[in-house]
A and B are shown apart, each in its own frame.
Chain A
């Protein structure tokens, strides 16, 4: 069953899904999801109920799929759930953690559960807590920590056993802007310096855009878009122009002067060469209108997510 997907799986694929279907009674959570998650940091985007959580649970082998094929780190989580989960670190979305346990004990305990010998677990729990900036707080009980510190504890617990793949579910939830920036920098560092592949499930486009190498956007139980950020952002050649007023007059003037362009929703879209920039400058000056925006055509992640394109 998995041979077919194994042969089609790219050499750098960490997770490969083909036609994955998951139903809860009559509700279809995933309806033929195809996705390939590569190395590095990947953002798993989608609205509530899109199927992100279900997909993560299938990756962890905590639920069984109804149809399709799935390989995680080269193995099928449905049949090799235990060994795969030993190689995965997971930080859940919720902040409820055993409140009376000191952070060091909590992280060490989970490292032992992930099969590290006691001495190594103690050492690595301390290392991980230092890494996330809680070295001096590691003997404080988790219940006495702020939301930001708990998020860091969860990250430390997810990476302490040195997993190959780390799944982070809304890792910046509940953080203020400064903490959010620090957490994103930390995740980026873990993903780039320590050889762990990271999948971040998030609602926040700007966060994903900021630290991820690739994105999988899930909507309605299927993958709406996926690819590297560079590929997804890549739009048509050319540039666009926005002016304060008289967009139609400006378009007409430029056409008269022999330039090819289209006008969409008040935005002038040029497919052409750099020489058009000078023509736009001159035409804008001739009409005396304000130039609001002159930029290369392309897409933001939001454009991709919302299905808009300029």
Chain B
């Protein structure tokens, strides 16, 4: 209206900026905060908030229910409460949903819309850009992994179902390790796939395939051809799930061959997934033509 119809409002006091400027690391913080808001749908139309809300609901609602049950049924034996290892099923589900359908929002649109070129024309380089993006995705994933576990921990302690004072530091450390490793793994996987395409839908399909196809392939190979159990390390969700049980020192038996592997082998498998994901993403961006 103002410009196209001929009206001009130029000269409204535009002048040079002589105030303070921040250090270059603020560019990373700005992009990180911007990315967190985007993936959570904050400041965006309601449709962008649906999936993040569902994800957080999957992660937190079972914890709220568990805590509610523990509070209402004070005489409930501790053994009947959901364990932290078991709770990783909900967290794993939320992480899978987030990494497939939401996390690609962190990287894909920037290349598709040319925003990456504008970022790299500012006081950023590829590594700083990637670090900011990875930190943003990781922060939201930590909200999914650590948040419910810490909430359960605090609530169980308050309800008298928690660990003894002497066991508390160990349990907190276990929660921290599991939460960080799971978040790192899913973040690396999602960012790696997202770095290979500019389309969120393609990234979503890629993440789903990467999560589930190796599971089927590995299981089939082990069961039908007698392939070594280590092949199960290709099944990323199994690796994270099994590692969680091991860290929380919880016994479970589902008959999966990964249960036959040593904890160190599983930890190495998780580390390999994280490193491989990060490496793919870094190599992809090292070759990406940001300028256009």
Give A residues with C-beta under 8 Å from B.
53, 56-57, 60, 62-63, 81-83, 85-86, 88, 90, 92-94, 96-100, 105, 109-110, 112-117, 120, 124, 127-128, 130-137, 146, 148-149, 152, 157, 161-162, 167, 182, 189, 194-195
Contact = CB atoms under 8 A, between A and B. Distances in A.
A25 to B, nearest CB: 13
A122 B62 CA distance: 41
A88 B121 contact: yes
A115 B23 contact: yes
A56 B30 CA distance: 25
**Interface band, chain B:** 35 or more
Contacts of B9: 130, 133, 135-136
Nearest to A138: B2
Interface stretch (B14-22, B137-145, B209-217, B255-263): B14-22
B287 interface: no
A99 B31 CA distance: 17
Interface string B16-43: 1101111110110011001000000001
A127 B30 contact: no
A136 B27 contact: no
Interface in B237-292: 290-292
A93 B292 contact: yes
A109 B1 CA distance: 24
Nearest to A162: B17
A62 B121 contact: yes
Interface stretch (B68-76, B108-116, B171-179): B108-116
B13 A127 contact: yes
Given A100-B45, A133-B10, 10 more contacts: A82-B124, A83-B123, A85-B121, A90-B122, A92-B292, A96-B114, A113-B31, A113-B123, A116-B17, A130-B10
B20 A117 contact: yes
Interface of B: 1-4, 8-10, 12-17, 19-24, 26-27, 30-31, 34, 43-45, 109, 112-115, 117-125, 290-292
Contacts of B115: 97-98
A127 B9 CA distance: 11
Given A94-B114, A116-B22, A136-B1, A124 B121 contact: no
B288 to A, nearest CB: 11
12 contacts: A60-B291, A62-B120, A85-B124, A94-B114, A110-B122, A113-B30, A115-B26, A115-B27, A130-B14, A132-B3, A135-B2, A137-B3
A93 B118 CA distance: 11
B117 A92 contact: yes
A126 B110 CA distance: 23
Contact of A90 (B1, B13, B118): B118
B292 A124 contact: no
A128 B9 CA distance: 12
Contacts of A157: 118
Nearest to A161: B17
Contacts of B121: 60, 62, 85, 88, 90, 92, 167
Contacts of B3: 132-134, 137, 148-149, 152, 182
A127 B119 CA distance: 21
B14 A127 contact: yes
Contacts of B117: 92, 94
B12 A114 contact: no
B123 A127 contact: no
B180 to A, nearest CB: 28
B1 A137 contact: yes
A86 B113 contact: no
Q: Which 9 A-B pairs have the closest CB atoms?
A: A133-B3, A162-B17, A90-B121, A86-B123, A136-B2, A96-B114, A115-B22, A112-B30, A115-B21
Contacts of A85: 121-124
A63 B224 CA distance: 52
B114 A92 contact: yes
Contact of A124 (B17, B113, B291): B17
Contacts of B13: 127
A160 B136 CA distance: 26
A194 B26 contact: no
B24 A115 contact: yes
Contacts of B290: 62
B3 to A, nearest CB: 4
Given A98-B109, A127-B14, A130-B12, A137 B2 contact: yes
**Interface-central residue, B45, B112, B114, by most chain A CB under 10 Å:** B114
Contacts of B17: 116, 120, 124, 161-162
Contact of B24 (A86, A112, A146): A86
B16 A195 contact: yes
B211 to A, nearest CB: 28
B112 A96 contact: yes
Contacts of A57: 291
Contact of A62 (B43, B113, B291): B291
Contact of A113 (B1, B15, B119): B119
B24 to A, nearest CB: 5
